[in-house]
A = this chain, B = another copy of it.
Amino acid sequence: MQITIQRHDAGAADARKPVYQQIAEQVSRAIGAGELRAGDKLPTIRALAGQLGVNRDTVALAYDALARERLVETTVGRGTFVRQATPRARPQRAAPPLSPLVDRLLDFERARPDYAARDGAVPLHSLIPDPSLYPLKAFRRSLNRVLDEGGTELLSYGGHQGSAALRDVIAERLRGHDVDTGAEQLVLCQGASQGMSLAMRLYAEPGDWVAVEEPTYHNVLGVLVGLGLRPAPVPMTDDGPDLEVLERTLARPEVRLFYTMPSFHNPLGTTTSLAHRRALLDIAARLGKPVIEDGFEMDLRYDGREVPPLAALDTSGVVVHLFSFSKSLFPGVRIGSICARGRAVDGLLALKYTTDLSGVLVLQAAVADFVRRGGYDRHLANLRGRLRERRDVLLAALEEHMPQGTRWTRPEGGYQVWVDLPEDIDSRALLREAENAGVMFSPGHQFHHDGRPSTGLRLTTALADSDEIRRGIEILARLVSTQLAARAPRVARDTSIHV
């Protein structure tokens, strides 16, 4: 059988199916037509990915989808085979319908970019911290040490608030940023992702609205859809969210809270000034609306001067602060914290309890040990150095290669740099070309609440090292320059007609 992939073209942007789905459907049709028969072996994931010039994950997704339809089955070490038609009767009735909310969520998820890069493409799209930098050995010592000391008790439920030792450690670090807090005001959670979801549920019910920055972290938009909440966008200026729009938005009674990333914004990479933070808090306090401050990269400043988190400036008790170890230690630990006050803590505990009972106590204890013994700060010193170096390389490469009219941000911490392309180049359309040319980035439309096209794109320094970054930017710059060159005559012709 022959598998072909329909690549993106500008005219049919929304009709285009994800690559994995195209593959799955063609295999499915081949089975239906008898081209492939029970027992036939499909190409290996590696072989098919190579042949189609797509990422292996894409082929793996396709095979998973086929397995889910009971059309193929995979045997570890042997491969993927077309299944014998099952002797059990196929369902006579349609499966029960999913909730409309889940249907909306699936629609939303389908609109995510379907990265289909060739192997070896420079991963400037990824926010997964580089595994080669994880402090595996030292962390493992902490893990085994707490198991020696804590024994089986660490394998029991952790309580819904989470390890007191780790809450102590995080509270102490937050106090180092002038946040007036204590272990009793912290609730541990599965990374800032869960923290975000719990904090939103604390104040907003399905049908309510949530003010979000535009652009904002795309998963925030997904969380909103999943919870039945609606985004009220507040455009970002050069110094944080537009305060006039923010005030107007938060004044609407159906808007329940504001979600913001004042430091190392995702996707912009920018940091809001102290004066802007104070003005923002004043608005929120005046209107009595809570502010969720996502400090997911707060430990990753490598340049400039610390600006106190909103939680440190908050005298009205409106701020709920999220922290996470995912970007600064490693994501697989799945540990973050939510810092709140008074009844908000009780509410968070009740929500955590009814969501998944508790986190993983033994990992929480291991992180507490790792931080206490200085392992985390040593790791941070190393990581910040690398991130600064990679940012410098990235900015220098942009400066050297990008055509005139391109603008970009200059982060003082974290992984994100935002690039704004000249002359209305749609970054989503550019992505297909870029993937084929060997560089990946995150197109800007997915950071918009309505998914409208964007000339912006997010680059990260998470997975790519300095050499890869240089190579990636050279490729990207060449593509943009080519587009501009192709455009110029057309603009000239248009002009000549109209004059």
A 149-169 binary contact with B (CB < 8 Å = 1; else 0): 001111111100000000010
Are A342 and B180 in contact, CB atoms less than 8 angstroms apart? Answer: no
In the assembled complex, A497 has its CB within 8 A of some CB on chain B: no
Enumerate chain B residues within 8 angstroms of A222, measured Cβ to Cβ.
350, 353-354
Q: How far is the CB of A87 from chain B (nearest CB, A)?
A: 10
Give residues 108-145 of A contacting B (CB, 8 Å): 109, 128-129, 131-132, 134, 136, 139-140, 143-144
Enumerate chain B residues within 8 angstroms of A206, measured Cβ to Cβ.
205-206, 228
A 71-96 binary contact with B (CB < 8 Å = 1; else 0): 00110100000000010110111111
In the assembled complex, A234 has its CB within 8 A of some CB on chain B: no
Interface stretch (choices A2-10, A99-107, A465-473): A99-107
Task: Indicate whether A96 sits within 8 Å of B203 (C-beta atoms), given known contacts A315-B89, A315-B91, A333-B360.
Answer: yes
Enumerate chain B residues within 8 angstroms of A191, measured Cβ to Cβ.
356-357
Contact of A317 among B95, B190, B201, B351 (CB under 8 A): B95
Give residues 300-355 of A contacting B (CB, 8 Å): 315-318, 330-334, 341-347, 350-351, 353-355
In the assembled complex, A212 has its CB within 8 A of some CB on chain B: no
Are A204 and B99 in contact, CB atoms less than 8 angstroms apart? Answer: yes
Copies in the complex: 2
Chain A residues bordering chain B, tally (CB within 8 A):
105
Contact of A360 among B151, B223, B360 (CB under 8 A): B360
Would you give 30 A-B contacts (Cβ < 8 Å), ordered by A?
A: A67-B185, A86-B180, A88-B315, A89-B315, A95-B341, A96-B203, A96-B290, A96-B318, A98-B347, A99-B208, A105-B354, A109-B353, A134-B152, A139-B155, A140-B144, A154-B332, A156-B331, A189-B356, A193-B357, A194-B356, A201-B226, A205-B228, A219-B353, A222-B350, A222-B353, A222-B354, A226-B354, A332-B360, A334-B357, A360-B363
Known: A190-B357, A205-B228, A334-B356. 16 other contacts (CB 8 A): A67-B184, A88-B180, A94-B288, A95-B341, A97-B203, A98-B344, A99-B256, A102-B202, A109-B350, A131-B152, A131-B155, A136-B147, A140-B147, A156-B330, A158-B332, A332-B362
